[in-house]
Amino acid sequence: MALFKKKNDGAALNSVLVRRPIQKCFPIFLLPTFIAFCIGFLYPFAKGLFLSFCNFKTTSKWTWAGLGNYVKAFADESFLHAFWYTAGFALVSLLIINILAFTVAYLLTKGIKGSNIFRTVFFMPNLIGGIVLGYIWSMIFDGILSRYNTSILLNSTYGFWGLIILMAWQQIGYMMIIYIAGLQAVPGDMLEAAKIDGASEWKTLWNIIIPNVMPSITICTFLTLTNSFKLYDQNLALTNGRPYNGAIHTTEMLALNIVNSNTLKTKGVGQAKAVMFFVLVAIIGILQMKSTHDKEVQQ
Amino acid sequence: MAKKPATIQGEKRVKTILTVVFAVVAVVYLLPIFLVLMNSFKANAYVNTETFAMPNEESFVGFDNYVKGMTFGNYPFAKSVGYSLFITIVSSALILVCTSMAAWYIARVGSTFSKIVYYLCVFSMVVPFQMVMFTLPKTADTLHLNTPWTIPIIYLGFGAGLAVFMFSGFVKSIPLSIEEAAAIDGCGPIKTFFNVVLPMMKPTMISVGVLEIMWVWNDYLLPYLVLDRKKYMTIPIHIQYLKGSYGSVDMGATMALILLSIAPVIVFYLTCQKYIIKGVAAGAVKG
């Protein structure tokens, strides 16, 4: 084993005794997943990247277009609108969801009766799929709005806040779970010391609790951000972009805009939009991984 | 209660008030589900006008909506349920078995190739589905992966990233000496994996399993684009099809179907909520 002394930590974890026999079983262990990975991810991804520089009607009939699709995507008003709409939505939902989730988590860790039941209730909407969720809430909103002779499909302000309410209902429970884990990890002796020193509850919260749950806050911030940017099902089911204002679908978010570009004429542009969308989501994802890397909170 | 140190009695009172407040909030929180239940027993005309009223003599239609919903939209709902169940169970099982084996290989072999695969997996976690949505359906068609019986392979491919990442993270934390002991005792890699490594992986298995089940069961866009829509529908596709199709929609029947589709999820949640909350929260690593 001394032969394999490397500086690399990963190599130190391996011993020849275990490694050699596994390596011989490559076709059983790694190959099935690798082939499926190529079919379901690698090939479509590479092809998609390539096709974003082409005009195409079917994926096998293409002509080179260079950066033309990207130029067209930037000239597409509905795409720009969807971007700013999504960014605005992300910001508002980020603030609302995190503030509410933190408050709920904070109060639920105070040892009140029934905490577990409340936790169960608040987490539940998380398990309902986006399409179903959208239709449940469209029934509720239209039930209210029909009294005023309007509908969530007729007014983009209602559409925006409707989607915020829906997402808050779905995600507060999830973020609450992460905050509860963070709050339970705040060192008890610090809290006790603060109490003995006569610090007010407010001061304890700001100076001890919040600095200690910073990792949870980072995770939840990124999660709400990516969830908003990748939002599709709920957007489709609740308003599907309506009301329309010419070419602009006023409540259409990025993901829906890209899917709606899946028409014969604009497929190349749609793929270019998808590449830019991927870059945006990937940057957020990489920032998240980096910022949570040193402080592993999971499991 | 800013300055005075709260007395024990005062603190107790605050806690009781909090419990009452939370109880009210919890009831409000569950209201949307109750509304679905209530409206699933109303005639179509009343769903939009009297959404918040209990069904009365006029609007109550018993189980008519459920009966109607079964064949609603010229597609039997039971079929969608069957396909959803099959795809979810087979895909999740396939992902669990294949990726745990792959992750063990990656973590223990550490060759250049396995490292490349690992980093590709991590990379795939930040790629949104829209990036492959134009090309994946064509690939699936060519390879005949566009049926409910074969779509699990697509799910394995697109879902491998997170699962491999989580499993190999766990394998790296298992001391190597256990596997070495097994090897010295003459255990082959397959036996070692299934008898020694797999049992240790159980907590991660549950987390990954919950994540994959929730993902596949609720997924809409992937099966919608990949499956042959005229022949196969899953529950989310079915519900979207009912509402998205033009013309008048029978809201009562739609609510009945929505209730039928969330009821199993809620039962599943209430029976194993501890695992579900833990599993879903573990997915927080995904970008």
Whether A8 maps to a domain, the answer reads no
Chain A residues within 8 A of B98 when measuring between CB atoms = 32-33, 36
Distance CA A286, CA B153 (A): 27
Rounded (5°) CA angle B125-B131-B135: 120
Sheet strands (E) in chain A:
54-58, 61-64, 244-245, 248-249
- Residue finishing a domain among A67, A98, A129: A67
Sign of the C-alpha dihedral computed for residues A48, A53, A59 and A60 taken in this order: negative
| Best of B106, B130, B144, B234 to mutate (most A CBs within 10 Å, chain A) | B130
Whether A27 maps to a domain, the answer reads yes
Do residues A27 and A136 share a domain?
no
Second-level CATH architecture of B77-246+267-285: Orthogonal Bundle (1.10)
Q: Is the pLDDT of residue B6 over 50?
A: yes
| Cβ contact A47:B135 at 8 Å | yes
| Best of A16, A23, A29 to mutate (most B CBs within 10 Å, chain B) | A29
pLDDT value, residue A3: 42
Q: Is the pLDDT of residue A58 over 90?
A: no
Measured between CB atoms, which of B47, B132, B258 is closest to A44?
B132
Other beta carbons within 10 angstroms of residue A71's beta carbon come to: 13
pLDDT value, residue B285: 56
Do residues A24 and A83 share a domain?
no
Do residues A51 and A104 share a domain?
no
Distance CA B39, CA B101 (A): 47
Contacts of A65 (CB under 8 A, 6+ apart): A53, A54, A55, A268
Q: What is the mean pLDDT of residues B219-236?
A: 91
Measured between CB atoms, which of A18, A137, A267 is closest to B134?
A267
Do residues A31 and A119 share a domain?
no
Q: Is the pLDDT of residue B155 over 90?
A: yes
Q: What is the mean pLDDT of residues B13-23?
A: 90
Tokens of A1: 């084993």
Which A residues, 62 through 91, put their C-beta within 8 Å of a C-beta on chain B?
Answer: none
Q: What is the mean pLDDT of residues A206-220?
A: 90
Contact B124 A11 (CB under 8 A): no
CB pairs under 8 A between A and B: 316
> A64 or B1, which is more confident?
A64
Do residues A55 and A107 share a domain?
no
Do residues A214 and A83 share a domain?
yes
User: Number of folded domains in chain A?
Assistant: 2
- Average of per-residue pLDDT values in chain B: 87
Distance CA A232, CA A258 (A): 10
pLDDT value, residue B281: 74
| Cβ contact B245:B229 at 8 Å | no
Do residues A75 and A219 share a domain?
yes
Residue A114 Rama label (left phi>0; alpha psi -120 to 50; beta): left
Measured between CB atoms, which of B251, B276, B287 is closest to A139?
B251
Contact B108 A277 (CB under 8 A): no
Q: What is the mean pLDDT of residues B86-109?
A: 94
Measured between CB atoms, which of B29, B153, B268 is closest to A122?
B29
- Residue finishing a domain among A38, A67, A96: A67
Under the banding of pLDDT at 50, 70 and 90, the label for residue A293 is low
Contact B35 A29 (CB under 8 A): no
pLDDT value, residue B272: 86
Q: What is the mean pLDDT of residues A80-109?
A: 95
Do residues A63 and A89 share a domain?
no
> A33 or B272, which is more confident?
A33
pLDDT value, residue B1: 44
Note if the bond before B128 is cis, omega within 30 degrees. no
| Cβ contact A63:B169 at 8 Å | no
Under the banding of pLDDT at 50, 70 and 90, the label for residue A93 is very high
Do residues A48 and A123 share a domain?
no
Q: Is the pLDDT of residue B82 over 90?
A: yes
- Here the ipTM equals 0.88
> A20 or A81, which is more confident?
A81
B51 to chain A, closest Cα gap in Å: 5
> B69 or A8, which is more confident?
B69
Give pLDDT tens digits for B178-194.
Answer: 888 888 888 888 998 99
Under the banding of pLDDT at 50, 70 and 90, the label for residue A296 is very low
Distance CA B200, CA B206 (A): 12
Give, as one character, the DSSP assignment of residue A267.
H
Q: What is the mean pLDDT of residues B75-82?
A: 91
Chain B residues within 8 A of A39 when measuring between CB atoms = 139-140, 143, 145, 153-154, 157
Do residues A124 and A222 share a domain?
yes
Do residues A30 and A120 share a domain?
no
Does residue A185 belong to the interface with chain B, where contact is any CB pair within 8 Å? no
Whether A12 maps to a domain, the answer reads no
Under the banding of pLDDT at 50, 70 and 90, the label for residue B50 is confident
CATH at residue A119: 1.10.3720.10
Whether A216 maps to a domain, the answer reads yes
- Average of per-residue pLDDT values in chain A: 86
User: A95 is in which domain, residue-wise?
Assistant: 71-293
Do residues A127 and A270 share a domain?
yes
DSSP assignment string, B87-104: HHHHHHHHHHHHHHHHHH
